[in-house]
Chains A and B, each alone.
Chain A
Amino acid sequence: MSNGAFDQTAWIFISTYLCSLILVGFIGYRARKENTLKDFYLAGNGFGLVVIFLTLYATQYSGNTLFGFSGKAYRIGFAWIMCIHFMTAIVACFLIYAPRLYAYAKKYDFITPTDYLQHRFNSNWINVIATLILVVVLSNYLLAQLMAMGRAMQGLSTVDPDTAYRQGVILLTLIMVVYGTLGGIRAVAWTDVIQGLVLMVGFSFLLYMLYKHFGPISLATNIIQQSPEVAKVNVPDANRLREWLSYIIIIGLGSTLYPQAIQRIYAARSEKVLRQGLALMAFAPLFTSLIAVITGIYAIAYVPGLLGTDTDRVLGIIMSMIQQNSVLGYWLVVILYAAILAAMMSTADSALLSISSMLSKDIYGRFVDSNASEARLTFMGKIFSWCLIIFLVWLAIYLSDKASLIKLLDRKFDILIQLVPAFMLSIHWRGMQALPTFIGIVFGVTLSLYLAFGGFDFVQNGKIYGFHPGLIGLLFNFAIAVLGSLWINKTSNKPLMV
């Protein structure tokens, strides 16, 4: 995409922006109050409203949102409007357990998500499997962000696409790890503030640019209606409608269990701040996901004929077209590219920080060196970050053209959602027992993966009649946890409290 490449001035702008992130990392390092896990991963007493909202926003809206959502809208048309529903569902699902989890976290000084499980069940088995699931899912998520960084660079550079991809992955990851290692959650959250603001401004510009360059969306809809892609305007078929419902449930529930999301609940300065931050987040899909869908719709009309993983590049292609139109369009695209980099890096840095906290505290601190000091655990967290990121950079380069971003998104939720009973049910039901909860998780994960990868005829595009296999696994998981707990409570003659 050499015709979309930036000139020297634009590169200076982008480079200055990226260097400012390292500077923020350094300021975060200077601002640390003590060398403890709580200070490094939760910023001591926590953040106020502006930081909490923008860090939640920048973390939730990622490379998947921008490239994956516009690409999916390009592939299936207006039906992908379902994404604003499931992104809103995430905030609604926080209501199920965030208020009580916040109260627990403040009372018992939780650092990682599994601190709650350890407190609630006191079971190493549940702790290990939950940590394993969260680390695997988050590594998958992180990998998707690294791949998106590479694709973003393909649209910027004049060198060949493969080289641009590799350079993008390595350079952006390096910047991210440096500021994350320096300043911990402070650096991550403060850079999220910059990144969140750039992202919001960039998205507003994108909407304006689409209108200015291509005309009203009615024009795009007319073009699609007169093309072979007319089905992308029609009401989705029954299978797609079931998929719509499935996405609302699986992403609504699953996304609230992302460790970085849970740690942001812990990091809110007060209940009021958390409430207000989440209330603002409830409207975020309308000015983010919706614009990604509109971009995909414009692309169906004006960039027809893309197939496979190329469809995830529609945003870059649309931006290249706008960029060539005028000086204003060119600079708006430069800002938008900064926003895209912001979206990917802010999500990736939060995921990496959460993984390092879990590997350090929940695995190393619990099973390898239980006498390790806080400073030692913080140091080990940084080491784990670097080791993991080196492996994932290699994987991102190896997998560069092998998987669509949305496929990666689909599978990880099938696994993540199996932790719903352990977190959301147990926080309200005191009768829930450790053993059936553990068996439920194992059975749910196994069944979900077996259904997804078992080669069954009734599984099409990774879904069963439109439903994610993870939801089938969750039904059995839920049943095992509830019935098993009821049975244990009954046979042990302990009072069952609900």
Chain B
Amino acid sequence: MKRPYWICTVYFVLVAIGIPWYWPAETSLFVLGLPLWVVIAIGVSICASTFTAFLLLRYPWNTEVNSDE
């Protein structure tokens, strides 16, 4: 079975965007009463949930059982 490196890459990118390391310490940008960095973190979480659900429902699982173990 092909090793799913692309899946790891997607999660890595989501984590890199979701954690607000690239924001200045004090930010005055707000959306719907929430700091923008919080809104982005929530947006990333929605993307991660959707991607995970996609993998669970559509991606073939490796369910091979080694009978000689």
Residues of A whose CB lies within 8 Å of any CB of B are 78, 81-82, 84-85, 88-89, 91-92, 95, 99-100, 102-104, 107, 119-120, 216-222, 233-238, 241, 244-245, 248, 271, 275-276, 278-280, 282-283, 285-286, 290, 430
Contact = CB atoms under 8 A, between A and B. Distances in A.
B6 interface: no
A65 to B, nearest CB: 15
B9 interface: no
B20 A235 contact: yes
A279 B69 contact: no
A81 B41 CA distance: 7
Contacts of A222: 33
Interface string B10-48: 010001001111011111001011110110011011101
A10 B19 CA distance: 43
Interface residues of B, number: 40
Contact of A100 (B33, B45, B53, B62): B62
Contacts of B26: 234-235
B61 interface: yes
A107 B65 CA distance: 8
A221 B52 contact: no
A88 B25 CA distance: 26
Contacts of A217: 32-34
Given A235-B26, A430-B69, A279 B53 contact: yes
Contacts of B53: 279-280, 282-283
A282 B24 CA distance: 30
A295 B57 CA distance: 33
Contacts of B38: 78, 81
A279 B33 contact: no
Contacts of B48: 85, 88-89, 92, 282
A356 B37 CA distance: 44
B32, B46, B52 — most chain A CB neighbours (10 Å):
B52
B65 A100 contact: yes
B57 A221 contact: no
A3 B49 CA distance: 40
Nearest to A88: B48
A241 B56 contact: no
B33 A221 contact: yes
Given A78-B35, A103-B65, A286 B30 contact: no
B25 A234 contact: yes
A216 B33 contact: yes
A218 B30 contact: yes
B6 to A, nearest CB: 13
A235 B45 CA distance: 17
A275 B57 contact: yes
A99 B62 contact: yes
A99 B1 CA distance: 14
Given A99-B61, A276-B57, 10 more contacts: A78-B38, A85-B44, A103-B63, A103-B65, A217-B32, A217-B34, A219-B33, A221-B30, A221-B35, A235-B35
Contacts of A234: 25-27, 35
Contacts of A241: 19-21
28 contacts: A78-B35, A78-B38, A81-B38, A82-B41, A85-B18, A85-B45, A85-B48, A88-B45, A91-B49, A92-B48, A92-B52, A103-B63, A107-B67, A222-B33, A233-B35, A234-B25, A234-B35, A235-B23, A235-B27, A238-B21, A244-B19, A271-B61, A271-B63, A275-B56, A276-B56, A282-B53, A283-B49, A430-B69
Contacts of A81: 38, 41-42
A237 B69 contact: no
A244 B35 CA distance: 17
A91 B49 CA distance: 9
B22 to A, nearest CB: 9
A324 B26 CA distance: 37
Contact of B45 (A95, A120, A238, A285): A285
B52 A279 contact: yes
A276 B61 CA distance: 13
A85 B41 contact: yes
A102 B64 CA distance: 10
B49 A282 contact: yes
Contact of A119 (B25, B33, B64, B69): B69
Contacts of A84: 41-42, 45
A234 B26 CA distance: 6
Nearest to B57: A279
The 5 closest A-B pairs by CB, nearest first: A218-B33, A99-B61, A103-B63, A279-B53, A279-B56
A237 B20 CA distance: 10
Contacts of B21: 238, 241
Most buried by A among B33, B42, B49, B66: B49
A271 B15 CA distance: 28
Contacts of A218: 30, 32-34
A100 B37 contact: no
